[in-house]
Amino acid sequence: SQKIEQNSEALNIQEGKTATLTCNYTNYSPAYLQWYRQDPGRGPVFLLLIRENEKEKRKERLKVTFDTTLKQSLFHITASQPADSATYLCALDPNNAGNMLTFGGGTRLMVKP
């Protein structure tokens, strides 16, 4: 069956450290993968998109990798801050037909000062 798996346990790290979140998928062949941030009671906010021919993408303190062989994407936040505390979701278009997204379960990140 098709799955998008993220670590359901909360990730607790100290301020200033690098947070690394994992997204693994099964029985999909996505042309791209996206990462979103969701704060409690709010809709997701788009962060980064990485295409299958891109191994790495960066945006400020964020870095995303995409390994189509391992069927895995890693999401890194460097120099983490308490304001980075949120749930981070990975998502992909299951049909590569444009726009419709299937989400992973999300990983809650807690950055302690």
Partner 1 sequence: GAVVSQHPSRVICKSGTSVKIECRSLDFQATTMFWYRQFPKQSLMLMATSNEGSKATYEQGVEKDKFLINHASLTLSTLTVTSAHPEDSSFYICSAPRLAGGQETQYFGPGTRLLVL
Nearer to partner 1, 98 or 113 (CB): 98
Task: Give the C-alpha distances (Å, rounded to integers) separating 113 from 44, 47, 87.
Answer: 24, 23, 18
Mapping DSSP to helix (H, G, I), strand (E, B) and coil, where does residue 54 land? coil
Is the torsion defined by CA of 26, 57, 59, 49 positive or negative? Answer: negative
**Shortest spacing between CB 46 and partner 1, in angstroms:** 5
Nearer to partner 1, 43 or 113 (CB): 43
Q: Which residues bind partner 1 (CB under 8 A)?
A: 34, 36, 41-46, 49, 89, 98-106
Nearer to partner 1, 18 or 26 (CB): 26
Mapping DSSP to helix (H, G, I), strand (E, B) and coil, where does residue 45 land? strand
**Shortest spacing between CB 34 and partner 1, in angstroms:** 8
